[in-house]
Chains A and B, each alone.
Chain A
Amino acid sequence: MKVKRNMAYKPQYGPGTSKVAENRRKQMNPKQKLEKMRDVTDEDIVLILGHRAPGAAYPTAHPPLAEQQEPDCPIRKIVTPTEGAKAGDRVRYIQFADSMFFAPSHPYQRTYTEAYRFRGIDPGTLSGRQIVECRERDLEKYSKDLVNTELLDPARTGIRGATVHGHSLRLAENGMMFDMLQRSVLGEDGIVRYVKNQIGEPLDRAVAIGKPLDEKWLKAHTTIFHSLGGTPYRDDKEYIEYVQRIHTLRTKYGFLPKE
């Protein structure tokens, strides 16, 4: 799809003068390249996702678009299908839980980031978890980005399809976020390995996703305001002003406010 390059408005992505706000904008802005932190292979991603066996063909939900008659629809002419849609893949998901203790991303942030950066997705935002659904082929490509870049910390971000509880709890003694199913384990060598897939089924081999990032890095790259040890929300005056303005306007909306 062609995007109009010279739009009248330059997207701002979000308000705020604090470091946290800046990190949020950085993640959302598709022109900013996300820092690559680790190298998890395609096969490892497929194992963690647990939707198909590595190397197996993609099961399909419908015949490839090229083989089926498309109705005469103006929208279909404008929008180029993604690779997964073209091939008729099933819709599958990846879900994340982010610890409140300075995880690099968090549910709302993830949804904004994905909506700006990826195509053909359906994100779902909840308080403690964020799920993104799309065609399987696309999902694997996007998941690789989500896992390999600075959006994920091996200790404080969990790839959890079910039983996500833990984002608001204290961390464990070794710094890992609580996980009832203990999908990822911190080894003696300091490397975090997934021993179960995202729904908690044991994997044939452990998938290493690297060392947890240190506290200093996390505090510099977090997108979470936190008054205990981090950047308190109330310190970012511009952010507060923006949120209050939106709140006021939507409260008064029924009375047709004029600015």
Chain B
Amino acid sequence: MTDAIYPQVRIVSARFLRPDTVEQLLNRLVQVGGIRRMSINGPSIPATVPYGPARGQPNPHPDRKVIRVGDQDVQLRVQVGTIILEIEDESYIPVIGEAVDEVFADKDFSCTVQQGRYMKTQPTLSDYAKYGPDADKQILGLVDPRRKDGPVIIQGTK
């Protein structure tokens, strides 16, 4: 969950991004700083075929890759289309906008930066029923808190 005092930003590109573009964009955002939490969204790319006659077979996919962000490896599990950020204060928003423009300057499609509320601020009754009272509030509403692999922590300069 988030404290409502922190502003949130959503970065939406007109096309789904290739892993190398995501790597470039995230590294540029990490340089900007001021990011408390980040979630990358998009349609899922599972490791095995989830249903149908080929269910359970491995699903090699060129976009399911490990990328390097800051000093950490991040396993991509989705085709990235949206990035949600929670930032420390509003002064970072124009800087993020500039960073995004810089990365997308040589692409033939656009990318927009929007401000709003994109992360949950309060657990719902369904969250309580599904995950119980002790669910990790840091990631509830962003990903399934029952996942064994936790969030990737990228150390800032603070």
| Chain A residues close to B by CB (< 8 Å) | 161-163, 165-166, 169-174, 178, 180-182, 185, 199-202
Contacts and interface: CB of A to CB of B under 8 A. Distances in A.
A165 B46 CA distance: 13
A4 to B, nearest CB: 43
A185 B21 CA distance: 18
Interface in B14-71: 14-18, 21, 43-46, 49-54, 57, 59-63
B50 A173 contact: no
Contacts of B46: 180
Contact of A172 (B18, B44, B51, B53): B18
A169 B16 CA distance: 9
A163 B52 contact: yes
B141 interface: no
Interface of B: 13-18, 21, 43-46, 49-54, 57, 59-63, 79, 81, 107, 109
B16 A200 contact: no
28 contacts: A161-B52, A162-B51, A162-B52, A166-B43, A169-B16, A169-B81, A170-B14, A170-B16, A170-B81, A171-B16, A172-B63, A173-B107, A178-B16, A180-B45, A180-B59, A180-B61, A182-B45, A182-B59, A182-B60, A182-B62, A182-B63, A199-B52, A199-B53, A200-B52, A201-B53, A201-B54, A201-B57, A202-B60
Q: Main SS of chain A's interface residues?
A: loop
Nearest to A200: B54
A161 B51 CA distance: 11
Contacts of B62: 182, 185
Question: Which of B21, B46, B57 gathers most chain A CB within 10 Å?
Answer: B57
